[in-house]
Structure 1
Amino acid sequence: MQSLVLERKDELSLRDFPAIDREEEVLGRRDVRIKMHTVGICGSDVHYYTHGRIGPFVVNAPMILGHEASGTVIEVGADVARLRVGDRVCMEPGLPDPNSKATQLGMYNVDPAVRFWATPPVHGILRPTCVHPEAFTFKLPDNVSFAEAAMVEPLAVGVHAATKAKIKPGDNAVVLGAGPIGMVTALSALAAGCARVFVTDLAEKKLQIAATLSPAITPVNVGAQDLVDVVKPATDGWGADVVFEATGSPHAAKTVFEPLAPGGCVVMIGGQPDPILYDAGAAMIREARVENIFRYAHVFPRCVGMLSSGAIDVKPLITRTFEFSDSVQAFDIAASAPVADVKMQIELPQ
């Protein structure tokens, strides 16, 4: 079976990968086999391609990319009770140790032993089929497309962040960054009850896309406008109740308290490769609460439900789709970071 393989930094190939075929030849009693349909290109996939590592996770051997996915169940294990052959599904890509302390406490996403697709040395799912536990595989309603379902994984980050923020109806929020995670965080904040969300970026095209998502979203080009000068007048001088940092930029991260209201909450989403400046004084005088998130936990069914009900619409974020045979080209385009694109996806042959 052909897979999209990161051979090493800056080298991708579409080729057979016998090792994964052998690894998944036998189906576990509580596993399902899934024929892949749509896989999103994530920034982490691109970063492994262009840098060969993310922090301590280093690509030391060829690795299949991809972790944002949807597909169809084609085989079920003997003890699978919730899913059937033919079910359309999306999959949560991180598998924790069920016996770990983190899992027992309900924080399975921070289990040090978690095995996450396309995080070395674990292979991803840009390949025809995969085997996955039933417990981390979720049936799709008929009105949720494969493309939308492949957006559940990034959406889960935004929903987890909004949950951590403890948003109250009528809150005002700021999202720093209009990339895919910033966009889904803005949508999640609105779904959680925010009356208004200010979304910042330097790319005007991305801000234009953000503005189309909801009349409650106010785009702010921080290259031309001062964020505080926009937020304070719009909130009667009080500031934003929640600030989400979704850029991963050290410069943006050091400004998180500036638009924040007293008693407000900052949620750190964007990964920072190095230590960042932290204005302890600005946090103190606001009695700011600071939350950090790592991926997500317990939110995939919520995301599917919101897509089905229309509470969240991710379709405008899917800006380009490639055939599987064009996967290498797709990654080259994604690596160039086109300003008009939010989420690129790859469709596999059916």
Structure 2
Amino acid sequence: MAEYVIAREESVHVLTENISLEAAALTEPLACCAHAALEKTSIQPGDKVLVFGPGPIGLLLSQVVKAKGGIVILAGITKDKKRLELAQNIGIDKTIDILTQDLKGIVEAYTDGYGADKVFDCSGAIPAVNQGLQLTKKKGVFVQVGLFPEKMNKMDQEAIIQREIHYIGCRSQKPSSWKLALDLLDNGKINIDKMITKVVPLDEWRSGFETVMAGDEIKVLIQSGEKSV
């Protein structure tokens, strides 16, 4: 069995036959999601989870939650149409365009009016955060994954106080998060094939980055020789 070194800390983790090099290229962002969902909090089977932002992080995090038995509502905006469609194709329970659909009504219907057990903001957009705080159940958990453009922001602190919400900051990942990510990949819990929407050769790396920044693709792999990075 061919083995490839993927990370080194106190021990060496390797890729099993179930993890392709293409899948391994997404280990770092997946580790960030595993850290947010499985280390900063936990997911119990049947948890009703609201995720804001259907970008790569939001899509990966939604799959981590699904892997642990959670029920996921993924919220985006109209320009995220293709990403929301992809979310449906990979098994996310409900997708919402918050500009054209009633987010509050849908969340209340899914949660019997109590609000989401866990909310993850992967958008870094204050309007989404303030919506999410109102839709978190009393004594529920809100994990801030997305980064804000500004250091200081107007946040609905009243919702945090009155609903006794656990508001948790989440920064990147740590060594144990990589092991969690590799286990998810090894067990086939993450749909990598549909996440990688374009592959470009090394000499076209700039166009690959520009395509991602424009929001036209989910994840772009840069291919060097016979291997992708």
Equivalent residue, structure 1, for 2:85: 208
Equivalent residue, structure 1, for 2:172: 295
- Seen in structure 2, the aligned counterparts of structure 1 residues 292 and 316 have a Cα distance that, compared at 3 Å, is same
Aligned-pair distance for 1:347?
1.3
Q: Residue 155 of structure 2 is aligned with which of 278, 284, 302?
A: 278
* Matched-pair contact (CA < 8 Å) for 2:53–2:74: yes
Aligned-pair distance for 1:264?
0.7
Aligned-pair distance for 1:251?
2.1
* Matched-pair contact (CA < 8 Å) for 1:264–1:287: yes
Q: Deviations over 1:213-240 (max 9, x none)?
A: 11x5200011101211111012111111
With 329-338 and 174-183 compared, the bigger mean Cα shift is at 329-338
Structure with the greater alpha carbon radius of gyration: 1
Equivalent residues in 2 for 1:107-118 (5 A)? none
Tell me the distance in 2 between the aligned counterparts of 1:146 and 1:153. Answer: 13
Equivalent residue, structure 2, for 1:165: 41
Structure 1 residue matching 2:190: 3-state secondary structure: coil
Aligned-pair distance for 1:272?
1.1
Equivalent residue, structure 1, for 2:3: 87
Q: Residue 119 of structure 2 is aligned with which of 222, 243, 246?
A: 243
- Seen in structure 2, the aligned counterparts of structure 1 residues 294 and 188 have a Cα distance that, compared at 3 Å, is same
Equivalent residues in 2 for 1:145-224 (5 A)? 145-163=20-38, 164-194=40-70, 196-202=71-77, 203-214=80-91, 216-224=92-100
* Matched-pair contact (CA < 8 Å) for 1:176–1:245: yes
Q: 1:186 is aligned with what amino acid?
A: S
* Matched-pair contact (CA < 8 Å) for 2:212–2:218: no
* Matched-pair contact (CA < 8 Å) for 1:162–1:189: yes
Aligned-pair distance for 1:330?
1.5
* Matched-pair contact (CA < 8 Å) for 1:178–1:199: yes
Query: Which of the pair is proportionally richer in strand?
Result: 1
Q: 2:30 is aligned with what amino acid?
A: L
Query: Which of the pair is proportionally richer in helix?
Result: 2
Equivalent residue, structure 2, for 1:140: 15
Tell me the distance in 2 between the aligned counterparts of 1:135 and 1:324. Answer: 32
Equivalent residue, structure 2, for 1:317: 195
Structure 1 residue matching 2:131: 3-state secondary structure: coil
Unaligned ranges ≥5, structure 1: 1-85, 92-132
- Seen in structure 2, the aligned counterparts of structure 1 residues 349 and 228 have a Cα distance that, compared at 3 Å, is same
- Seen in structure 2, the aligned counterparts of structure 1 residues 201 and 153 have a Cα distance that, compared at 3 Å, is same
Q: 2:181 is aligned with what amino acid?
A: C
* Matched-pair contact (CA < 8 Å) for 2:126–2:155: no
Length, aligned pairs only: 220
The alignment's TM-score, normalised by the length of structure 1, stands at 0.60
Unaligned ranges ≥5, structure 2: none
* Matched-pair contact (CA < 8 Å) for 1:156–1:296: yes
Aligned-pair distance for 1:276?
1.8
Tell me the distance in 1 between the aligned counterparts of 2:146 and 2:89. Answer: 23
RMSD: 1.7
Q: Which has the higher contact order (CA 8 A, sep 6+)?
A: 2
- Seen in structure 2, the aligned counterparts of structure 1 residues 337 and 311 have a Cα distance that, compared at 3 Å, is closer
The alignment's TM-score, normalised by the length of structure 2, stands at 0.90
Equivalent residue, structure 1, for 2:182: 304
Aligned-pair distance for 1:281?
1.6
Structure 1 residue matching 2:100: 3-state secondary structure: coil
Tell me the distance in 1 between the aligned counterparts of 2:186 and 2:82. Answer: 28
Q: 2:81 is aligned with what amino acid?
A: E
Structure 2 residue matching 1:265: 3-state secondary structure: strand
Q: Deviations over 1:55-75 (max 9, x none)?
A: xxxxxxxxxxxxxxxxxxxxx
Structure 2 residue matching 1:193: 3-state secondary structure: coil
Equivalent residue, structure 2, for 1:327: 205
Structure 2 residue matching 1:299: 3-state secondary structure: helix
Runs of 4+ in 1 over 4 A off after TM superposition: 133-137
* Matched-pair contact (CA < 8 Å) for 1:253–1:276: no
- Seen in structure 2, the aligned counterparts of structure 1 residues 150 and 268 have a Cα distance that, compared at 3 Å, is same
Tell me the distance in 1 between the aligned counterparts of 2:110 and 2:180. Answer: 31
Tell me the distance in 1 between the aligned counterparts of 2:106 and 2:157. Answer: 24
